[in-house]
Amino acid sequence: MGHLDSHCHLDDPRFAPDFPAVAARAAAVGITHVVVPGVDLASLAKPLPEDPAMTLYRAAGLHPAFLHADNALDQLAAALERGGIVAVGECGLDRRHRSPGDLQRFHGQLDLAVAFDLPVILHVVHAHDEVLAALKTRPLRGIVHAFAGPWPLAKRYLDLGILLGIGGIGTWATSKRLHETIGACPSDGFVLETDAPDLSPSWIRGQRNEPAELVGIASAVARLRGSSPEEVLAASDTQGSELFRIR
């Protein structure tokens, strides 16, 4: 298997015009497996794009920054029942976007992950204490996506079986405290992600991100860890494929 991008929105309309070219550029640098997180029920209803160069895996979740129907949790449960889904997410709490029922919806998704024996993909903004408290009461594994916090906070997630999702923010020169976290994290404590089309690495900041950029993220992480990009990619692939059960 080639390398895994653990979080990439290849179903985003921004990829629709040239998806085969995006997939080809990724495959040319060895990125051939991609987990596509869900954000709402509409995204779940659409088939994932297909390309012979790339294997896509679907996660299903109700993103905390979006509004959802009252029965969204039931519909999510029905989708999980149908199968073919590797994780529950993105789910979480984003305190920039409070919405009615968001805490209940988050807890409900954690309970579904436990019930279906799936990992979670967490989106957390200004809500780490609330999220960690919810995780503590449930036997879960997963990823805290786009992690950018200090090492003591990272350690609290790792102690609960949650891996750090490391992406483009780690490449930004201004991310000093994240650089320390990346340097301190054990090699079985992180997975790489692009979060494309968002969260561009520094060299293309503001432009559309894409899965091929995972290699540049691996290089930046390797420099911070005194390691090689190959070692970083291998460590990430091992953790990601085990977590999502996709090898």
Binding site for Zn ion (CB under 5 A): 195
Which of 11, 237 has the CB closer to Zn ion? Answer: 11
Which of 11, 195 has the CB closer to Zn ion? Answer: 195
Q: C-beta of 209: minimal distance to Zn ion in Å?
A: 11
Residue nearest Zn ion (C-beta atom): 195
Q: Give the count of alpha carbons within 13 A of 179, CB side only.
A: 11
Q: Among candidates 176, 167, 241, which has minimal Cα distance to 209?
A: 167
Q: Among candidates 85, 125, 161, 34, which has minimal Cα distance to 109?
A: 85
CB 24, CB 53: distance < 8 Å: yes
Q: How far apart are CA 142 and CA 87, in angstroms?
A: 8
**Pairing status of strand 142-144 against strand 162-166:** parallel
Residue 238 neighbours by CB under 8 Å, 6+ apart: 188
Which of 195, 237 has the CB closer to Zn ion? Answer: 195
Q: C-beta of 90: minimal distance to Zn ion in Å?
A: 5
DSSP class of 17: G
Q: C-beta of 167: minimal distance to Zn ion in Å?
A: 9
Which of 195, 213 has the CB closer to Zn ion? Answer: 195
Angle CA 47–51–56, to nearest 5: 55
Which of 181, 194 has the CB closer to Zn ion? Answer: 194
Q: C-beta of 231: minimal distance to Zn ion in Å?
A: 26
Q: C-beta of 220: minimal distance to Zn ion in Å?
A: 19
